[in-house]
Structure 1
Amino acid sequence: MTVLADEPAAPAECVNRWQQALSRAFARVEVAVPDPAAWTASLSTHRLGALQITDETSGPATVLRSTGSVAADPRRHVLARLQLEGTVHVSQDDRSAELPPGSLTFLDLGRAFRIAVPVPQCARTLMVPRPLLGLDENALRQFTATRVDPGDGDANALLLPLLTGIGREISGVAVPVQDHLARTAADLLAVLAADHAARLVPGTRPPTQSLFDRITASVEASLSDPDLSPQVIADQNGVSLRYLHQLFQRQGSTVSGWIRGRRLDAAHQELARPDAARREISAVAARWGFTNASHFSRAFREAYGMSPIQWRGQARGRPGP
């Protein structure tokens, strides 16, 4: 996805376009710009399996992920923001940090945060599902919005330049190589996060996530893709199709059954939200990878004992039709 917010348009429209671009790339945010008339920005995003890499440039602005935005769009990925040019200020969980060029910070989409951009800047953000970092909730809450510098230990000095190089080159290589680089980048982020957390949070252990956990985390990030299949998942995670099926069988499930269950659970949660009354059932189904609304309704009834419409009505405190 590539979005240019510096195309000719009224100043207010440029800011609105930028807010929509950031919200599509990451999660719902609110944007304020001090001087819309003299402001430009651009954004380019590449989705590679469970990893998303986004390059952005912008003029001075404030980006806010409020508690209301979190409630309305409850994505729970983690952002690793690598500052390339310009200095910005980030805050989350009653902490704040200044990010000069070359530094990195982690932000959790599951909680409110703020990014203040006082000067024109350029940044590269890697977005991954929480489980891929392999850290518990306590550790994650204690090191977001803290600065990671290349000089803060051997791991940082080695890994930050590698992440920078992978993010810069990944879009220009062949697709099979992209998949391998994406997995490598996710692994580097997990190691970097674990090392950073271990220095800030006593008792934090390195990630020991199983292959099954890593695969299911990558699938969670792709539930909305109607073309998601066992073969696609196997290719993205560098395992054979046969071995993928064996991993799920050991957990007492099948690949397709696990995907369907997670999609239904996600739709079930979305339909229970207060604003679900304004959404078409077919739109919710499509959002979670169901291309056939009738099939979705049958699967939903089998799983929960009622139709999606009945569940939405019950969740809002009134009986369904």
Structure 2
Amino acid sequence: MLTAVSCAHRDLAPGDRLAAWQRALSRTFVDVEVRVAHDRPWTGELTAERLGALQIATEDFGPGTVLRGARTAAADPRGHILVRRQLTGTALLLQDGRTAELHPGRLAFHDARRPFRIVLPERQRARVFMVPRALLRLEERQLSALTATAVDGADGGAAGLLLPLLDGLADEVSRSDPGRREQLARTVVEILATVGLERIGGQPESALWERITASVRARLGEPGLAPQDIADQHAISLRYLHRLFQLQGTTMGAWVRARRLEAAHEELAGPGAAHRPIAAVAARWGFTSPSHFSRAFRDTYGMSPAQWRRAAGTGRGG
């Protein structure tokens, strides 16, 4: 559901604007206090989209300051993680003794359980993702190290690949049908977790990558195994799946082919291989064509499967 909140000069009387804007931000995100300089003009516009547990909002506001104090945080039970992606203008995000200076293209996390301050020296525009902390699957110590640290896609690494994808997914949400939106939301959360983990020096794709590769290994014998099958199994988009393999310098097709060949290579050198037809070994590991298997095996290991079996001492020739 898409909801819109507006607080512009033309909408409300001057005396009511600030209170209305504070209520809008608190209702959309978490309870906050808003401060503005009364001798400077300001406006605020807000749209928010809920996708199950995930919320994606676009905020156009400034100049001003948004505060969440210790007392407010203690009284408000919402413990979400907010992720601010700066679109235009600048912002300073302060939390846990750190300050993230946000320019267009930068992103930073902040934790609703603890006080934070967002200083907006000018009118600016930002996209804010609000995620239940459990969905990010980051430990509390990792979240504490992550807050108010700027992530810049220009620095390379996973962020350089994933932040443009994040923007595309966020734009795609409003154009997608309800069934598709749920899948997009899960992909957005996976990207945010990956980017956050990389920022604090972890292996960004490690948890998801391990789950994906373990499931692929378990299905190597399925000849028709396709990337879409794996993407659906892990509730991520096909595009994100391809990105994860790209981060490893490969494709899913190449990775699966290499693992199948490794498994067949190991089986042909093992006990009992002398009495097992090579075509049966190929089929066991997902190769539907024995001739294709033999060519791929020779290209990889420099000898045919039969030659390898003899060299490994299993004693049977073709």
Regarding TM over 0.5, the answer is yes
Q: Deviations over 1:59-92 (max 9, x none)?
A: 2010001001101212111011000000110100
Max radius of gyration: which structure?
Answer: 2
Percentage of pairs with the same residue: 45
Which residue, out of 133, 136, 151, partners 2:136? 133
CA RMSD across the alignment: 2.6
Structure 1 position 5 matched with structure 2 position 7: yes
Distance 2:42 2:146 in 1: 32
- What letter matches 1:107 in structure 2? H
Q: Offset of 1:165 from its aligned partner?
A: 1.4
Residues 12-55 of structure 1, C-alpha deviations (whole Å, 9 max, x = no match): 31111111011011110000011377221110110001210000
Does the Cα contact within 8 Å between 1:134 and 1:207 map onto a contact in 2?
no
Q: Is the 8 A contact 1:135 1:207 kept in 2?
A: no
- Of residues 136, 156, 165, the one that matches 2:159 is 156
Q: What are the within-5 Å matches in structure 2 for residues 128-207 of structure 1?
A: 128-198=131-201, 206-207=206-207
Secondary structure of the 1:198 match is coil
Q: Cα deviation per residue 1:240-282 (whole Å; 9 max; x = unaligned)? A: xxxxxxxxxxxxxxxxxxxxxxxxxxxxxxxxxxxxxxxxxxx
- In structure 1, give the amino acid aligned to 2:55: Q
Aligned partners of 1:139 and 1:204 also within 8 Å: no
**Separation in 1 of the partners of 2:25 and 2:110?**
14
Could you tell me which residue of structure 2 aligns to residue 226 of structure 1? none
Superposed displacement of residue 154, structure 1:
2.0
SS in 2 for 1:107: strand
Aligned residue in 1 for 2:305: none
- The alpha-carbon deviation at position 208 of structure 1 amounts to 6.3
Q: Which residue of 1 aligns with 2:69?
A: 66
Q: Quick check: 1:75–1:110 contact (8 Å CA) kept in 2?
A: yes
Q: 1:205 to 1:178 in 2, by over 3 A?
A: closer
What is the CA distance between 1:172 and its match in structure 2? 1.7
1:87-107 Cα distance to aligned partner (Å, 9 max, x none): 110100000011000100000
- The correspondence of residues 1-321 of structure 1 with structure 2, limited to 5 A, is 1-6=3-8, 7-35=10-38, 38-198=41-201, 206-207=206-207
Q: C-alpha displacement at 1:152, in angstroms? A: 2.3
- Which runs of 5 or more structure 2 residues have no equivalent in the other structure? 212-233, 236-318
What SS is found at the alignment partner of 1:162?
Answer: helix
One-letter amino acid of the counterpart of residue 74, structure 1:
P
- In 2, Cα distance between the equivalents of 1:57 and 1:86? 10
* CA drift at 1:150: 0.6
Tell me the TM-score normalized by structure 2. Answer: 0.62
Aligned residue identity for 2:186: R
Distance 1:208 1:185 in 2: 13
Distance 1:111 1:193 in 2: 18
For structure 1, list consecutive stretches of 5 or more residues without a partner in the other structure. 212-236, 239-321
Residue type at the aligned position of 1:198: G
